[in-house]
Structure 1
Amino acid sequence: MSWAITLMGFLLVAVVARDVFHTLFHPVGHGSIAPQVMKLVWWMLRSFRSDRRIAGMTGPLGIALVVLAWGVIAVVGWALLYLAQMPDGFAYSSELNPAGRHDVFDSLYLSLVTIGTLGFGDIVPATPFLRLIVPLEALFGFMLLTAAVSWVLQIYPALHRRRVVALQLSTLREARRANPDLGIDSVPTDVLTRLADAIMEVRNDFTQYGATYYFRDVEVDASLASSLVYATELASEAEGSAYPQTRLAGALVTAAVESLTGLLNNEFLGLDGDTAAVIRGYAADHRHRPR
């Protein structure tokens, strides 16, 4: 029986380690625990009205719950490793009441203390195997904390880049609406090419940091879900220009938008339709209407 408990413990620890690696460090950030937690939080907070700012807490709350899930599973995994060796594999402090000991509680307690690197020393490993894995859990706890901080530091720059693209589109749209006599040829081609580059960078961010999809931007002008449709309008106008440079720039924007919407559809939306349908679905999923 102890070998089965040990195997289960190792499997749980391995699941957490794999998920942290694939979520944070793999070139394509596809974990198993993190996406499911983010989707669950996204689904739960959709029950709030669209004008409630709490709906914009999906991303931060999801990140916190993912880290919590990693910690809980890791604690349980190591506790199972300790439980298989209880009580003979450990030395207990003389101050502990033998009548108050409980193998399951002691295993969870030791796991929590160790992963938090507290090290009270009231329960001490006595066998070579345990003297090896207990410090490893402390190292894992430090790694998990570092990974959580690194994840946050990676996600928010990606969100900043996405919001900048949305604001660029919103600003350009409003500027042209204020000056309706300015056609697409009045827009410098380098503005369009830089826009295409920025959209491709956003696509790469969604590939590497899929959790960023579940951050809802409440401000309409800063929401790519709301503003992306204007990129297709710009591209369509540019591809109809009499100037080859403008047509090429428009084609670049079109290709970038199609690449982005293809990723969004495959990874998050799962819709049957063209680029326009995916853009509408993306906007609706984030409680916006294409502008």
Structure 2
Amino acid sequence: MMLLAFILQAIRIAVPYLLAAAGGVMSERVGVIALGLEGLMLSGAFGAALGSYYGNSPWAGLLGALVAGTLITSLLAIATIRFRANQVVVGVAINLLVAASTRYFLRLVFDSSSNSPRVPGFGGEGVSNVMLSSFMNPVVWIGLAALPALGWLLYRTPFGLRARAVGEKPEAAATLGVAVNPMRLKGLYLAGALASLGGAYLALDQHQFTDGMTAGRGFIALAAVIFGRWEPVRVAVACLLFAGAETLQIQLQGAQLVPSQFVEMIPYVLTIIALAGVVGRSVAPAALGKSE
């Protein structure tokens, strides 16, 4: 029973990682560095809280998340694809911009510097078991299906073939009639939608937006992308591994067997160890970070 509870909690925690990492895989497969995942998730979380609050429906919250994610993705696309700015600098700027702007609009809209009022979330209120109630949230199932579906899209469809081509050999793709920048734009908007849904899950699951609530999950999702070597199935396994570490952290904190400061380090230490063992041997898409 304890093992089952651990697995259910790990899956629940893995959902935002899975969605953000799916966005990261898509973005980097078309050649755009996914350093802005944290900002996309945070904007999605705020958009979800705003949409759910004013629309009085979690479905309005999802729509708000997608709108917010689209706006931030548009900024990213204009800077990296239209003006060919350095993608690392743009990613860092997006993260800083979203962190500051959500804090500003939180105070402007909700007159609070820390969190929004309670907003409607998806079902499960009548279910006594909190873990099982989470699985009544459709975003959980979208998260679980995101990376397998992305794997099918990348390796079984013409769209996926073109996406991988512009991320590996854009010059060769262009000679075969593939429009590189429009293809990258499509991949980037899909990535933004997935990452913003990851943020929406956090806000709707907790029934509110909290300042900085993504708490580095976008960076851990990016680590999972690298650890999984840009292959959707491997990335999904990496996300579950990191979610398992976070679940262990929560349970150890409850047991109070070790000082809390050491327990809080577990997910991040695991991330560093995982990347230290794989980065030298992993091969990123050849055109990653390069303008056409």
Instruction: Kindly name which structure, 1 or 2, has the bigger radius of gyration based on alpha carbons.
Output: 1
Task: Report the TM-score when normalising by structure 1.
Answer: 0.25
Please, what TM-score do these two structures have when normalized by structure 2?
A: 0.25
